[in-house]
Structure 1
């Protein structure tokens, strides 16, 4: 990525990037942002001059393909691993509770805050390794990473009880529904319904796309903790830093705002109404 400095002043026919634009993009790429986010977040934040046309995302990717920016496709975090997968709903797996088919269709639109997805991220897959419990709010894309001792239902339940204590009287307003899979580690979650108004829904067997938001965020974790690497090798501060990075990453679907910005806005509305 440092090679971008050597091409800062290289002229590109037609539209071209200013020195300032090149610096901004180079710095943001080092933070793990995509080209689209680099350009549009900078525009939203007023880092690019409003009086001139900013090079569009497609043009930026064309510049990379043409070798005009001093960076390459393998420098871009997602471009080389995108593919299309066929998803099938497979049967013959136990049901732990309320099916996702019973979940209100309005939740699919992501217009309402307080609907979450939940999953686990494993490291070395040994009994003595720790596990990451992950939750993502569907509208804001806020992402929680909670370190737990193992993948047992007891550890998962304990983490949720701690989270419930943290948000105390606002729990029901912030966590209206939680969607997860049919893994045995989530077998006891429906018991939380007895102590709150939160409703739990279980995805179709072997259908990760039913909770695509949290799956997508789990993929972001893998930028920092590769598959097969022990979670125990990472400190609590490492996990906090990963969570902070995820929630500070501007998203195109959020008009280049960050999950933290949307999440804090929604929390303010809930606290003010209390």
Structure 2
């Protein structure tokens, strides 16, 4: 049978383990960065899939419970529920070219909740599909008014460049985004709403959902976002953009 490369590539395996635990990098990031920085050549490494197989086989000190994204991954088929509320333009109307991630300006957005109480703040997250640029904006609550106020702030910040930077925004059907389509009345930005109850699916807005999962490494579910300083939020955003 085919021989395992595990022992022959011990140097690369140790590199992955070191950066996984010390820098919080995923196995994919470790594998790709090792090649991008020139620290290893292709023949000295294994692909991310093989790394995950090593974890499953118990060959590495990294265990499956150290991989929160893997444990929460759902392999069941998603079914789009019919006759649900429609806040605006469906994602099915979104141009297919956006799926190719070849043009800058197409964003996904979502909310990250903390303690889920009325007096706790909320994080508005946005991710650009091509560049993977990630933004975190702290807002007072999860109301549609607070969400719109944050976008109005962004629109003022980017000024005349807004239409070039925010060409489209894809979000879910939550009531907090009910007024987001109003941006179309004051700009050229087009708003698309994901399929109800399948917004975390990769084909809808999986990019921002992935970053939301990374935020949970620093702000676990149930923690009050009020307890985290603005600098800490900025540090999390910087860390996400450095991957």
Pairwise TM-score range, normalised by the shorter structure = 0.7 to 0.9
Q: The residue matched to 1:78 in structure 2 has which SS?
A: helix
Partner Cα separation in structure 1 for residue 43 and residue 114 of structure 2: 47
Where does residue 156 of structure 1 map in the other structure? 147
When the two chains are superposed, the root-mean-square deviation of aligned CA atoms in Å is 2.3
Superimposed CA distance per residue, residues 50-101 of structure 1 (whole angstroms, 9 cap, x where no aligned partner):
4963344344445445555444333344343333132111133322222222
Partner Cα separation in structure 2 for residue 191 and residue 16 of structure 1: 55
Which of residues 105, 122, 139 is equivalent to 2:96? Answer: 105
Partner Cα separation in structure 1 for residue 144 and residue 98 of structure 2: 26
Structure 1 residues 112-261: aligned runs within 5 Å: 112-208=103-199, 209=201, 210-249=204-243
Structure 1 contact 117–135 (Cα < 8 Å) conserved: yes
Superimposed CA distance per residue, residues 83-131 of structure 1 (whole angstroms, 9 cap, x where no aligned partner):
3132111133322222222221221222221111111111111110101
Structure 1 contact 33–77 (Cα < 8 Å) conserved: no
TM-score in terms of structure 2 length: 0.86
Q: The residue matched to 1:182 in structure 2 has which SS?
A: coil
Which of residues 7, 14, 28 is equivalent to 1:36? Answer: 28
Which region of structure 1 is more displaced relative to structure 2, 218-227 or 90-99? 90-99
Partner Cα separation in structure 2 for residue 78 and residue 233 of structure 1: 25
Structure 1 contact 117–180 (Cα < 8 Å) conserved: yes
Partner Cα separation in structure 1 for residue 179 and residue 25 of structure 2: 37
| Uncovered stretches (5+) of structure 2, i.e. residues with no partner | none
Partner Cα separation in structure 2 for residue 62 and residue 104 of structure 1: 36
Pair 1:22–1:89, CA change in 2 (3 A):
closer
Partner Cα separation in structure 2 for residue 13 and residue 94 of structure 1: 51
| Uncovered stretches (5+) of structure 1, i.e. residues with no partner | 1-11, 250-274
Structure 1 contact 17–55 (Cα < 8 Å) conserved: no
Where does residue 10 of structure 2 map in the other structure? 17
Q: The residue matched to 2:110 in structure 1 has which SS?
A: strand
Partner Cα separation in structure 1 for residue 91 and residue 56 of structure 2: 42
Structure 2 contact 69–213 (Cα < 8 Å) conserved: no
Pair 1:76–1:188, CA change in 2 (3 A):
closer
Structure 2 contact 35–42 (Cα < 8 Å) conserved: no
Which region of structure 1 is more displaced relative to structure 2, 166-175 or 83-92? 83-92
The offset of 1:192, in angstroms, is 1.6
The offset of 1:205, in angstroms, is 2.0
Partner Cα separation in structure 1 for residue 20 and residue 48 of structure 2: 14
The offset of 1:157, in angstroms, is 0.7
Pair 1:85–1:233, CA change in 2 (3 A):
farther
Q: How many residues align?
A: 235
